[in-house]
Amino acid sequence: MKGIFITFEGIEGCGKSTQVELLKNQLEADGMDVILTREPGGTVISERIRDLLLDPTYKEMLPETEVLLYAASRSQHTGQKIIPAIESGKVVISDRYYDSTIAYQGAARQIDGSAIRFLCEFAAYHHEPDLTFLIDVAVETGLGRINPESADRLEQESLDFHRRVRTGFLELAEKHSRIVIIDGQKSISEINGLILDKVKEYLKERSK
């Protein structure tokens, strides 16, 4: 049977990385073969690109350069790791995927939407996540959880930038039924319970 592709999205500090780990452990406990990965990153080449993208010393990076680097990272990640894992029946859980590009480089950087869509589809080999969880919190809440001394290049962006990112994510959720909005203000265990229930519901429907 073909595997499942689950992605997690949200603004900086929303708590998605914690939920990614929890879901992985729970699905593995249920006997599933799970691969946990992230974007940018996931492969040796993609992780090198991640270093470039998030290094706060590269403040001169242009939006066009940024989006092309994300696409390059995603192309390698998807072709080398995600697609083979799905085709072999594994559950792939990714901490971010192309919805982040639409929100960050599209909504926040205001790069042309048609260019963003083309790059996302091209770099993802026209693969779409089966299920996406958007952990939604207020921008002030998310950024308040980040240590300013260790903040990466994107985390250091302005409040208005992160507000545009959040708006971009919420607009995406209105357009795609695969995106489930989760209230990130709830406790870690409450959020985890909602996610697990939705995953089980999806698996039940898929098995019919």
Number of domains in the chain: 1
Kindly calculate the radius of gyration of the chain based on its CA atoms and give it in whole angstroms: 16
Q: In this predicted model, what pLDDT tens digit does every residue of 96-116 receive, in sequence order?
A: 999 999 999 999 999 999 999
Torsion of CA 101, 104, 107, 108, to 10 degrees: -160
Q: Domain span at residue 184?
A: 4-206
Banded pLDDT at 1 (limits 50, 70, 90): confident
- Residue 116 structure tokens: 């963003």
pLDDT in tens, 9-59: 999 999 999 999 999 999 999 999 999 999 999 999 999 999 999 999 999
Q: Where on the phi/psi map is residue 16: left (φ > 0), alpha (ψ -120 to 50), or beta? A: alpha
Phi, psi torsion values for 128, nearest 5 degrees: -120, 140
How do strand 131-136 and strand 179-183 relate by DSSP bridges? parallel
- Residue 88 belongs to domain with CATH number: 3.40.50.300
4, 86 contact by CB (below 8 A): yes
Per-residue pLDDT averaged across 148-157, rounded?
Answer: 96
